[in-house]
Structure 1
Amino acid sequence: MLLENKRLLITGVLTEASIAWSVARLAQEQGAELVLTGFGRGLRLTERVARRLPHPPDVLELDVTREEDIAAVAKDLDARWGRVDGLLHAVAFAPQHTLGGGFLTAPWPDVATAVHVSAYSFVAMGRGFGGLLARSGGGSLVGLDFDATVAWPAYDWMGVAKSALEGCCRYLARDLGARATRVNLVAAGPLHTAAARAIPGAEAVSGPWAHRAPLGWDLTDSEPVARVVCALLSDWMPTVTGEIVHADGGVHAVGAAPGPTKG
């Protein structure tokens, strides 16, 4: 029971294909108590899919770009639990004009939205829930990433936002470390999630992934990524912070697809 008696806040659960949904399911199987969040039109989707978990959790409304929403959820969790042991930031968004070849033409307001939702909100949540995480004796804040060391087809400003997220992770790890709180990212390989389907031309990246990955890759299975997230939310990695853990089948480590081996 890797997460026995842990109290976790999970964002980003929209469908059963969501990485966050797999994290929620595994976390419950490993003994955690959960609260999920959603907002706007997606709130009902989160409430609906939450009922398919082994133990349907409460769902609170949270728009990560609104400081007052973060404060309200923190107040609820303070009254409910008195602490938070772990938090998953599984939130990213970029307006359509910033993706699929729009890098040179995307206007600043759309770019600002992508950076605000996908990167700055990670810091806002670390700030807003930092006190509750500290009360657990050193909590864990985990975010979802996609390798930002190279320029990918179609990813455009979301790739830049992920670069910003990686920088935010390092600085949050620095500033929350005094409270014994760990801050890490999991750089997942591409998966057939709702977010991935919203990126025009994303198949140029996801299509060859299984061939390039030394360990292979299943675009429909988010559980391997969720296992890494759950490990980081647990107490098994007490000295790991400011890290980007790649759960991508090994693609980040190779320059080209592996060739055939000789017998």
Structure 2
Amino acid sequence: MPLLEGKKALIFGVANHRSIAWAIAQSLASEGAQLIFAYQERMEKYVRDLAAKIPGTELVLCDVQDDAQLDSAFAKTSEIFGGKLDILIHCVAFAPSSELENPFFETTRSGWQTALDISAYSLVAMSKRAQPLMKENGGSILALTYMASERVMPKYNVMAVAKAALECSVRYLAFELGEHNIRVNAISAGPLNTLAARGVSGINDFRNQVATVAPLRRNIDQSEVGDTALFLSSHLSRGITGEITFVDAGYNIMGA
């Protein structure tokens, strides 16, 4: 039997074929999960095109900064899935480009608020709405983070702060939702060629460094993150919660 036979997953963050969220969607679908993609209005065409590649995938409109749209998205998810949700995937992050180009000490109040609202608070907002759909049978909530939460990565700036807040949120959510058998984890992925990564200056140089320094002497690809998400979404990881799992060819263990 497929690992996720009969399981129902709501995925935020699918944008194009290079998206980590898309790789996760493919991995979950390959093991039998039924999917819903939550999308921003401006991304609708791209998301619809990808959803069509996985038969049965549904779509719900949602801007994560709009509580009314979050309420609507989870209400529609409940309607489609019959009041049940097993898996929630959070692949949402954003900071204004100027906040990544300017020195960190020039971070603006509005840029800070935007980055933390979209990249970190949204996980809390989603989890609040997922809990009623998961509390009867348990579930898995999974977010994406990056090691800049712990180490200085030049030009990552306020996004690093947002990722640190996201990781702390994972731990608090794991503690509070654990009594309902809801697990909350995050994957810290190595640098990938995604739309979001292209907004960070020097990302290609860093990818070259990872391929040289990492124990596996290579970069990862999106499918490796997707398959780790599959594991963390399945019963195989039923004893794991509140953890940050690195998928970066081992780069995080190195001193340089």
TM-score of the superposition, structure 1-length normalised? 0.92
Note if 1:188 corresponds to 2:194. Answer: no
The residue type equivalent to 2:74 in the other structure is A
The residue type equivalent to 2:22 in the other structure is W
1:69 aligned partner: 69
Note if 1:40 corresponds to 2:41. Answer: yes
Higher mean C-alpha displacement, 195-204 vs 28-37: 195-204
Query: Greater helix share, 1 or 2?
Result: 2
2:227 aligned partner: 227
Matches of 2:152 and 2:182, distance apart in 1: 31
Say if 1:176 and 1:182, in contact at 8 Å, map to a contact too: yes
The residue type equivalent to 1:66 in the other structure is D
The 1:116–1:234 alpha-carbon spacing in structure 2 relative to 1, beyond 3 Å, is same
1:96 aligned partner: 97
Deviations 1:37-76 (Å, cap 9, x if unpaired)?
11131122211222233x2511111111211111111111
Note if 1:10 corresponds to 2:8. Answer: no
1:200 aligned partner: 201
Say if 2:104 and 2:157, in contact at 8 Å, map to a contact too: yes
Q: Give the deviation of 1:254 after TM superposition.
A: 1.1
Q: Give the deviation of 1:208 after TM superposition.
A: 0.8
Say if 2:219 and 2:249, in contact at 8 Å, map to a contact too: no
Deviations 1:115-138 (Å, cap 9, x if unpaired)?
100001011111111111213x11
Say if 1:100 and 1:153, in contact at 8 Å, map to a contact too: no
Say if 1:22 and 1:223, in contact at 8 Å, map to a contact too: yes
Matches of 2:52 and 2:217, distance apart in 1: 32
Deviations 1:84-135 (Å, cap 9, x if unpaired)?
0001000000001211343111211011100100001011111111111213
Matches of 1:214 and 1:179, distance apart in 2: 38
2:116 aligned partner: 115
2:210 aligned partner: 209
1:155 aligned partner: 156
Matched ranges for 1:19-30 at <5 A: 19-30=20-31
Q: Give the deviation of 1:206 after TM superposition.
A: 2.3
Q: Give the deviation of 1:12 after TM superposition.
A: 0.8
Say if 2:39 and 2:60, in contact at 8 Å, map to a contact too: yes
**Equivalences, count:** 253
Matches of 1:144 and 1:160, distance apart in 2: 14
* Identical positions, percent: 35
Say if 2:190 and 2:219, in contact at 8 Å, map to a contact too: no
1:139 aligned partner: 139
Matches of 1:78 and 1:19, distance apart in 2: 24
Matches of 1:187 and 1:71, distance apart in 2: 28
2:60 aligned partner: 60
2:184 match: secondary structure: strand
Say if 2:26 and 2:226, in contact at 8 Å, map to a contact too: no
The 1:217–1:225 alpha-carbon spacing in structure 2 relative to 1, beyond 3 Å, is farther
Say if 1:166 and 1:185, in contact at 8 Å, map to a contact too: yes
1:41 match: secondary structure: helix
2:71 match: secondary structure: helix
2:252 aligned partner: 252
The residue type equivalent to 1:48 in the other structure is D
Which runs of 5 or more structure 1 residues have no equivalent in the other structure? Answer: 257-263
